[in-house]
A = this chain, B = another copy of it.
Amino acid sequence: MGKKTMISMAVVRRLPKYYRYLGELLRNDVERISSKELSERIGFTASQIRQDLNNFGDFGQQGYGYNVRALYEEIGKILGLNKHYNTVIVGAGNIGQAVANYTNFERLGFHLLAIFDRNPKLIGISIRDKVIQDVDNLEEFLKSNHVDIGIICVPKEQAQKIADIFVRCGIKAIWNFAPTDLNVPDDVIVENVHLSESLLTLSYRLNEAELFKEKIGR
- Against B, the Cβ 8 Å flags (1 = close, 0 = not) of A1-26 are 00110110000110111011000000
Q: Per a CB cutoff under 8 Å, which of B4, B101, B105, B172 touches A206?
A: B172
Does residue A141 face the partner (Cβ distance < 8 Å to B)? no
- Whether the Cβ atoms of B98 and A212 lie closer than 8 Å is no
Q: Given contacts A20-B179, A43-B181, is CB(A99)–CB(B206) below 8 Å?
A: no
CB distance from A110 to the nearest CB of B (A): 7
Q: Given contacts A4-B215, A211-B78, is CB(A175)–CB(B200) below 8 Å?
A: no
Q: Per a CB cutoff under 8 Å, which of B104, B179, B201, B202 touches A149?
A: B202
- Whether the Cβ atoms of A203 and B12 lie closer than 8 Å is no
How far, in whole Å, are A101 and B16 apart by their CA atoms in the complex? 29
Residue of B at shortest CB range from A99? B195
